């Protein structure tokens, strides 16, 4: 198989306090791509680890070569920001994202790439069919979250939370990720491409051997809040005035109907309306309607500013590889 720049590959791995997994991770990625015939690079982003993760990354770069590109963030910004930092520096036409805890198996990378190219897709998401995690704290919340996310976003996947995914670079680099939005990447990708160009395939999943899991039930609330944000942005990102204006007009209509009713019984029936709770309710609804309509107009103005202005990064890089040293793994060649 000949070298092809259109199949150059960037692998992005965010890590946090994974000192014991760095060398096995880099080694297994090299083993998985031993016969990959195109240029590739491995981008590992240290999300402000407090252990020896960064020094292990420096050692890995010196041992394996300049195609191992290590970035250190200034502090712990979270997995989404670390992933975005890596995506901002990819140079390949194809992109793989995965976790650094070795529960994702690098041996699945060639299979994901084959599916992506053979079926002419923009994204292939991994499905941890035989997931090796605790039922109460990981499996059950993920099952519920996957169903809710699928229903809200309209993109039905069995496993939204699997970080092992393959993309075409022009699809994933259109996105800007914040909060815990890495869980909703398929939904964001679907904004700029057809749902039929997104697929899901089973991948292997291993129990964690070294390090500690960073996930627990306390993160459920954050996921729910981000899901609400995703729902809003998917439907109203470029027209927030429709969201606020729709609610405002509804409340204003109800308030106007109340005032119409009270006006009728006052003028035609001669009843006293000054002490009626319904009058207070009508006034509250009208005031709320005016406020929501005003917010809608302001949101439309802010949206125009957002699309016209540059976007600020959600992370700060402390250490980055020297640009002049950055290289590619040349890929497997057969004599």
Residue 207 has what pLDDT? 80
Q: 258 CB contacts (<8 Å, ≥6 apart)?
A: 278, 279, 281, 282, 285
d(Cα 179, Cα 17) in Å, to the nearest integer? 20
**Would you say the pTM of this structure is higher than 0.85?**
no
Residue 219 has what pLDDT? 59
- The rounded Cα 207 to chain-centroid distance in angstroms is 24
Residue 155 has what pLDDT? 72
Sign of CA dihedral 1, 200, 90, 61: negative
Going by C-alpha positions, the residue among 96, 52, 102, 92 that lies closest to residue 72 is 52
Residue 329 has what pLDDT? 79
Residue 130 has what pLDDT? 76
Contact 297, 241 (CB under 8 A): yes
* Terminal alpha carbon distance of the chain: 11
| Segments of the chain scoring below 50 in pLDDT | 1-2, 335
Torsion-angle region of 179 (φ positive above 0: left; ψ -120 to 50: alpha; else: beta): left
Residue 309 has what pLDDT? 63
Contact 116, 169 (CB under 8 A): no
Residue 64 forms beta bridges with which residues? none
DSSP H/E element including 124: strand 123-128
DSSP 311: P
The string over 196-223, giving b where at least 16 C-beta atoms fall within 10 Å of a residue's C-beta and e elsewhere, is ebbbbbebbbeeeeebeeebeeeeeeeb
Q: What number of H helices and E strands is found in the chain?
A: 10, 8
The full set of domain ranges for the chain reads 5-236+313-325, 240-308
CATH fold, domain 5-236+313-325, is Spore Coat Polysaccharide Biosynthesis Protein SpsA; Chain A (3.90.550)
Going by C-alpha positions, the residue among 174, 157, 183 that lies closest to residue 79 is 183
Residue 1 has what pLDDT? 36
Residue 2 has what pLDDT? 43
Residue 133 has what pLDDT? 58
Residue 330 has what pLDDT? 74
Q: 220 CB contacts (<8 Å, ≥6 apart)?
A: 141, 145
Phi, then psi, of 147 in degrees rounded to 5: -65, -45
d(Cα 77, Cα 47) in Å, to the nearest integer? 6
Going by C-alpha positions, the residue among 60, 110, 39 that lies closest to residue 327 is 39
């Amino acid at each position: 198989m000949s070298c092809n720049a259109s199949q150059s590959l960037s692998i992005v791995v965010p890590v946090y306090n994974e000192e014991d997994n760095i060398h096995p991770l880099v080694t297994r990625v090299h083993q998985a791509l031993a016969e990959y015939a195109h240029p590739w690079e491995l981008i590992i982003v240290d999300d402000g680890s407090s252990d020896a993760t960064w020094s292990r990354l420096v050692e890995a770069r010196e041992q394996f070569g300049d195609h191992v590109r290590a970035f250190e963030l200034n502090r712990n910004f979270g997995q989404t920001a670390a992933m975005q930092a890596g995506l901002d520096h990819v140079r390949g036409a194809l992109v793989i994202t995965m976790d650094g805890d070795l529960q994702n198996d690098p041996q699945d990378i060639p299979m994901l790439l084959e599916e992506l190219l053979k079926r002419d897709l923009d994204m292939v998401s991994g499905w941890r069919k035989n997931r090796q995690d605790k039922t109460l704290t990981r499996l059950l919340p993920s099952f519920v979250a996957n169903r809710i996310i699928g229903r809200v976003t309209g993109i039905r996947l069995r496993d939204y939370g699997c970080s092992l995914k393959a993309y075409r670079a022009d699809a994933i680099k259109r996105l800007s990720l914040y909060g815990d939005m890495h869980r909703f990447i398929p939904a964001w990708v679907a904004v700029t491409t057809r749902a039929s160009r997104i697929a899901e395939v089973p991948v292997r999943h291993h129990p964690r051997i070294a390090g500690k899991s960073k996930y627990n039930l306390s993160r459920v609330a954050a996921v729910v809040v981000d899901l609400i944000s995703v729902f809003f942005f998917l439907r109203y990102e470029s027209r927030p005035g429709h969201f606020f204006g729709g609610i405002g007009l509804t409340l204003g209509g109800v308030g106007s109907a109340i005032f119409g009713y009270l006006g009728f019984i006052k003028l035609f029936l001669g009843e006293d309306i000054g002490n009626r709770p319904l009058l207070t309710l009508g006034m509250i609804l009208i005031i709320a309607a005016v406020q929501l309509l005003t917010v809608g107009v302001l949101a439309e103005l802010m949206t125009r500013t957002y699309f016209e202005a540059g976007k600020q990064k959600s992370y700060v890089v402390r250490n980055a590889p020297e640009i002049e040293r950055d290289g590619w793994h040349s890929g497997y060649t057969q004599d």
